Amino acid sequence: MILKTENLSHKYSTSWAIRDINIEIADSGIIGLLGSNGAGKSTTMNIICGSLNQTEGSVYINEIDVRKHPLEAKKQIGFLPQTAPLYTDLTIDEYLVYCAALRLMDKTKMKAAVDEVKERCGIAHFSSRLIKNLSGGYRQRVGIAQAIIHKPRLVVMDEPTNGLDPNQMIEVRKLIREIAEEHTVLFSSHVLSEVNLLCREVIMIEGGRIVFSDTMDAFNNYAQTSSVLMKVDNPPAASTLEAIKGVIRVEFVSDKQVRIHFEGSEEDVTNQLITASVAGDWRLREINPEKGVLDEVFKHLSSTAGR
């Protein structure tokens, strides 16, 4: 088990930031940690990485208890916090050697490790440049390089594309995918489209609690269908459709295509529409359910958190 948390809870003053967070990750790949701002994502990540002591619960990295054996556990962890921990007056080489020393790496292996990680992150051609003279995208690459220089089992990234322009975001996402081929990446974001692009599994935290934990496909399909799209050659009046039990709103997308919003069973409403089409000679061509979009799922899970 690469990462396991048991009833992880933390209190700031009198308020619980997170409560009973249970996570198990056994394989490599990218796991998304999703949640709105203030949901508890960063607190969870800081505890997992050992930079914050939890109030209750346990964290195990590669079966090592982070609280009982912090040095051994941290050798298995690479961490990129929301603001990359860069010393901007150092060159890339100086900074990465310093980070390797902090990870207690063997001095005889440092140069090879630095060269390898620079090549992997696409920053080798800037080796002697001061970090303060790099663009935001390249600074983020340096931040990622320090997180993987010691080849950890688990790489934790808190909002790694935050503040980047679209081209920089694409480059950093590509790099994260490459890293995930050999490492387990726990990737935090509140941007739904980004989680959808990168992650195979998603854990959603709202109000300090896990409200969803499953595959990305299951997350996309979580919200029950609330509309169907119907195409007919001889469309009925909107009032005819609204008279059907369960239909709550009708929206004509084009002359022959209509979106029907409903409540209750999708199967019941669909069957009634098919029956009405035959009786009214609408000449039905297609009728398809519309999946809930990511934003709708997020809104639904957020609204049910803490109930």
Tokens 């599994």 — which residue?
201
Per-residue pLDDT at 177 exceeds 60: yes
Assess whether 209 and 244 both reside in one domain.
no
Domain boundary among 169, 202, 220: 220
Mean pLDDT over 96-109 rounds to 95
Beta strands 77-80; 29-34: pairing state: unpaired
How far apart (Å, rounded) are the C-alpha atoms in residues 56 and 18?
10
Assess whether 168 and 49 both reside in one domain.
yes
Q: Is 100 helix (H, G, I), strand (E, B) or coil?
A: helix
Number of domains comprising the chain? 2
pLDDT of residue 33: 93
Asked if 146 and 95 count as a contact pair (C-beta separation under 8 A), the reply is yes
pLDDT of residue 267: 84
pLDDT bin (cut points 50, 70, 90) of residue 295 is low
Assess whether 108 and 246 both reside in one domain.
no
How far apart (Å, rounded) are the C-alpha atoms in residues 144 and 69?
25
Asked if 222 and 297 count as a contact pair (C-beta separation under 8 A), the reply is yes
pLDDT bin (cut points 50, 70, 90) of residue 80 is very high
pLDDT of residue 306: 52
Mean pLDDT over 138-149 rounds to 95
Question: Which residue range(s) make up the domain with 282?
Answer: 227-290
Per-residue pLDDT at 294 exceeds 70: no
Where residue 274 sits, what CATH number does that domain have?
A: 3.30.70
- Fill in the amino acid letter for 283: R
- Residue 89 included in any domain: yes
Stretch among 107-116, 153-162, 211-220, 280-289 having the lowest mean pLDDT? 211-220
Assess whether 147 and 266 both reside in one domain.
no
Looking at the DSSP assignment, which residues form a beta bridge with residue 288? 229
Mean pLDDT over 172-188 rounds to 92
Per-residue pLDDT at 154 exceeds 90: yes
Assess whether 271 and 253 both reside in one domain.
yes
pLDDT bin (cut points 50, 70, 90) of residue 303 is low
How far apart (Å, rounded) are the C-alpha atoms in residues 263 and 269?
9
Per-residue pLDDT at 219 exceeds 90: no
